[in-house]
Each structure stands twice: as C-alpha cells, then as structure tokens.
A and B are shown apart, each in its own frame.
Chain A
C-alpha cells in the first residue's frame, strides 16, 4: 500500500500535497491491517500460541527422542490411521464425484434441493449421527442380517468393531465436505467447452478427462483436504464403532490427554500427526499439479 501511494504523491503538484495528504496515505496504509486484525489476533491467541507451547512441550524431557519413541511405540496405529484416512478419502471421491457431477450438470431446478439433501446429515450432531450407525450395524441389526443371509458374512462374524465399520463411517461423515467443493467447481464450468471438445473429435470420455476433470481439480483438491485432514485426526468413529483392532492416533491422544495432562510424548504425537498431514498435502498438491490448483 505504501508503494501504491508513492506515484500519486509524485504526480500531484507540490501545493496540493499539504494538508490531508499524509492522513489519506496513512489511512490507506492502515485499512487492510485493521481489517485483518480481528482474525489475526484470534489466530495468534487461540492457535499460534497454544501450538507453540505444545511444540515446546513436545521437546521437554527427552528432546527430539520423544518423537522417535512415540513413532516406534505407535507405528501400527500411525500406519492404520493413514490407511483408514486414505481409504475413506478415496471412497468419498468415488462416491462424491459422480454425485456432485450429476447435481451440477443434470440437477436443473432441483439443484438446491439435492444439495440440501447432501448437507442434511449436518443438521444432526456428529456424535448422534455416528451413534445411530451402531443401531444400523449391531450384530442383530438389519445390515448384518442381510449380509449373513446373502452369505457374505458368516453367522459368527459381525460388522461392529471391524475396520470396515470405521472406514465406512468416516467416509459417510466427511462425504459432504467432498461433494460441495467438487460441485462448486463443476457448476461454474462453461458447458460449451464440452461442445467444443466434441467438435474437435473428442469422445465423451476424452472430453471428460481433458476438460471436466481438469477444471474440477481445484474442487477435488479442496474436497480431499477437507476429508483427509479431519479423517486422519478423528477419534469418534473408531471409538464408537471400532474395537482394539481399529485404534487411531486421535483416540490415543484423546484418551491419554484425559488422564495425564501435558505429557511431552503426547505433544510429540500430536505434532507428528500434524507434520505428516502437512507432508501428505504437499505431496498431493505436487501430484495434481500446483498450477491447476492455484
């Protein structure tokens, strides 16, 4: 802003530069800072500072060795967490992309209604939504009964407590976060581009690959972040629908923070989760091509 103010000062005759001029440029300089101040302060106090102290805590007692301890102690859980988060994100793409595509391209006057249906689960609390899956999946429940009668499950097998239950519920809970950004990017795409692609000898499949998919990458990227990050940090789904076999990082942090507050290893585990998500996001952005996402 100060840079922008310079040419106008140079252009103006000397006489007019007196008086209010400094006030105007000061205001010009000040306004953007004033606008970001509330949000900035909020983030500083409630995000940066706690994060900083958590980071410092993670290095107390053992220093960096806290991290190696935490990783070797929990390697199975860490790998399981990322596998679950990845599978549920991929599943959300597989289910969510066609859904968003159909709503955006064929929804017509029902677009808003269909979008409302996608968001409908949010009107019910996360906890209640997940708890209701227990009723759906318990051993005498309808899903198990159907699967057993079809011979997919043995009589002594159950779904509740299985990785399948946890991953399915993760997918279900974060699906709207995948659908909405993809929908937005498909909605704003100019449909005539597909006419142009067909005119230029492209089959519908090639037109989808070269045009539709490419132009929806920003939405796909945003949807992936909004699904993968909360899924990787989640502790509710596995707690309610899983078992000892499905423990995720979030559960370990949540459980132990409850008992022994402020332990360096737990801080290290939290930080490591954050770092791994960050690395995963960067790798993913690279794979998709940063230019397309910007």
Chain B
C-alpha cells in the first residue's frame, strides 16, 4: 500500500487525519488518513456505499467525523459549519436554485460574503466565460440542458475561488457522449483556475482519465492511493485489481518471497513470479496472482527468454473492435482472458486449439488474499 501521507506534496490543502464516521452501528468511513495537495485533481473512487461521498460531505461540513480531524490549510475545521468553510461543492443533481437565473445562481456565494456589486459582476462574467455560458446568464436552470446546468453548478462553486472544489459524481446525470466531453472540459477548467479538485466517482474510467491521484475505497476503507498508472499497474489489493480495469485473478500459493518479488504456484502447478509489496505474503500463504488481459501474448510455440508462460486451450473468441478477446482454459481449468491485437501474427484460432499464454514477469502482481475476494474473472469483469 502506498504511504498515506502523499509523496512529494509541498503544502497539503486538505488533511484527512485518521477520520472515522459511524452512523449508529454502521461504519461509513473507517480510519481514512490522507492528504490532498495544492492544485491536485484528486479522486475518491469506489462502488456505492464505500464511504467516498460521506468523506466528501465531511470535507464540505455536512457531516462531522465521529473521530479524527479534517484540516483545511492546516486549520482543524471538523466542527465548523459548511457556510464558514472555504470549500465549495458541485452537487450530484446540481441543486441549482430554480427560481433564480444563471447570473443570480452564480452570484449567490459572493453575495452571501458581502462582496461589492461591481466585483461580483466582474467575477461572475469571468467565470461564465470560463465555463462558456456567457450568453445564458439570464436563463433559468429549467431552460438549460443537462450539460449547461452542470457548468452552472461548476461556475456557482468556482466563482468563490475556494481552497478546494468538491465534486460529487458531477457527471452521473449526463449521457455517455456528453460525459466524455465534460471530462476534458473539467480538466481544462481545473488547469485554468488552478484550484484543488476533490472528485467523487464510481466510474473507474472517469477517475483514470482525469485524476492526478486516486484513492480507491471499499467498505469505508481506503484500499490504495496512487497515480492512475500506479493503481492500474500495481494494485495493492485484489479489490483494487478487480475494480480498476479488467484483470485475470488466479488463486495461488506462495512458494518463495524476496523483497519485491514472489514466486507462486498457480494454474495447475506452474511456477510463476510477480512483483509483490505486501508484507503479509510469505512462503506457504494463499495469494492471488494478477495479470491484465492486454499484457498477455498468445503464441503457438513455447515463448523463449524471460517470459512467464502457461499452456492453455482456446475456449472462446470475440471481436471487440480494437482488440480480440480470447478466453482460454489453463491446465487446471482456470479461465484466462487475453486481449490481443487483431493484427497479431497468429494462425486462425478456433476453440479447442492449444496455445501458449505468456507475459513479462513485471506484468504480474502477487496480491495477499482477502477473505471475501471475488473468485472468478466474470465476477469482476461484470462490474468493470
């Protein structure tokens, strides 16, 4: 697991210091402990009920931590109400004021802070320029499209120049195409204003596309914090491996462990090795071996050199546009999924053909077993 106090952060804007939030017996957030840096695009990613929105609401001030502290620019704000915190939220369904036009919605915050009229007018028109809504200033929210309402919500929060902008699944209500466009739009706006964004989403693709760093959460716990590449290539837990992208996850038994490598017996007795950082992985321990489908190559003859390889039988082939998805069966019957280039130099494969599946040792990760981890690839692929 990546160190919770983030690497290379000069001045954290938000510090989540061992925060626990309970609702009755239910632990919504279990000892969250991390910092978010100035100007960072930080995402909290996880399935519904993982505690990401509760964490965001605690930063905003709508909930108070049961224990632990939340610091903004070094000052403990855990007990300070939302209207006195210098952070602003973009709400899931936007929560625009229906009886006010766009200008009045956006100027609502500065007016509450008694900013003088001329400054308000200047700042609102600047921010409407940035979100490209200048010509809609006198419209009511009901007269705007979903994407436009979304940008009003963004402008209404950003106009206050908060220390951090909190976004709660802001693209959830938009259709797929608009969502993709808005992802780039959000990145552009964040670069332009230079404000820290804390972004809550259950959509792993959204988090990977936009974030500088991601906190993957499950059942109230932070499973891993890291850059999109770190999390994708070196997931810390089986949950993270399964939740982000697609993954082959095979039950294995550890046979040998060095500082950063572990050798395991898997897929019917093959001795395979992969990178390993978890302390709990020792010889004899039950583990999970993970390889991403696109890291697996297929060949008719046994591969040469440093490759890890398994002999397998083709069970299914499906064309998916950019890749061909190949389902294979290992000697012990475990499923192997490989995404291969449609142009790959291979003979015509049919179910029943015998091939070699191989990957570089650096492509494999050995993960400690969680008691309730999903066992089959389909369990995981369905969620992805």
Contact = CB atoms under 8 A, between A and B. Distances in A.
Interface of A: 190, 192-193, 195-203, 206, 210-211, 214-215, 292
B81 A196 contact: no
A198 B160 contact: no
A199 B82 contact: yes
B91 A200 contact: no
Contacts of B60: 199
A238 B97 CA distance: 44
B109 A201 contact: yes
Contacts of A199: 60-61, 82-83, 88-89, 157
B113 A196 contact: no
Nearest to B87: A199
Interface in B78-102: 81-84, 88-89, 91, 93, 95-99
A184 to B, nearest CB: 16
Chain A interface mostly helix, strand, loop or mixed?
A: helix
Interface string B52-68: 00000000111000000
Contacts, number: 59
A198 B160 CA distance: 13
A215 B83 contact: no
Given A195-B89, A196-B95, 12 more contacts: A190-B93, A192-B91, A197-B108, A198-B62, A198-B82, A198-B83, A199-B60, A199-B61, A200-B108, A200-B160, A211-B97, A292-B99
16 contacts: A193-B95, A193-B98, A195-B89, A196-B96, A197-B108, A198-B61, A198-B82, A199-B60, A199-B61, A199-B82, A200-B83, A200-B88, A201-B84, A202-B83, A210-B108, A214-B99
Contact of A200 (B61, B99, B112): B112
B156 interface: yes
Contacts of B89: 195-196, 199
A155 to B, nearest CB: 53
Contact of B83 (A201, A211, A292): A201
Given A200-B108, A201-B113, A210-B108, A195 B99 contact: no
Nearest to A197: B108
Contact of A201 (B62, B95, B112): B112
A193 B89 CA distance: 12
B91 A198 contact: no
Contacts of B160: 200-201
Contact of B62 (A195, A200, A206): A195
Contacts of A197: 83, 97, 108
B91 A195 contact: yes
Contacts of B61: 198-199
Nearest to A207: B83
Sort A-B residue pairs by CB-CB distance and give the 5 closest, nearest first. A200-B109, A201-B112, A196-B95, A192-B95, A198-B82
B91 A196 contact: yes
B163 to A, nearest CB: 13
A214 B97 CA distance: 10
A194 to B, nearest CB: 9
Contacts of A206: 112
A192 B83 contact: no
A192 B62 CA distance: 11
Given A201-B109, A203-B83, A192 B93 contact: yes
Contacts of A202: 83, 108, 112
Contacts of B97: 193, 196-197, 210-211
A196 B141 CA distance: 15
A199 B62 CA distance: 9
Contacts of A292: 99
Contacts of B81: 198
A206 B83 CA distance: 11
Contact of A215 (B62, B99, B157): B99
A152 B362 CA distance: 91
A196 B95 CA distance: 6
A197 B95 CA distance: 9
B356 to A, nearest CB: 56
Contacts of B109: 200-201
Interface string B147-176: 000000000110010000000000000000
Contact of B156 (A195, A200, A203, A211): A200
A110 to B, nearest CB: 21
A215 B99 CA distance: 7
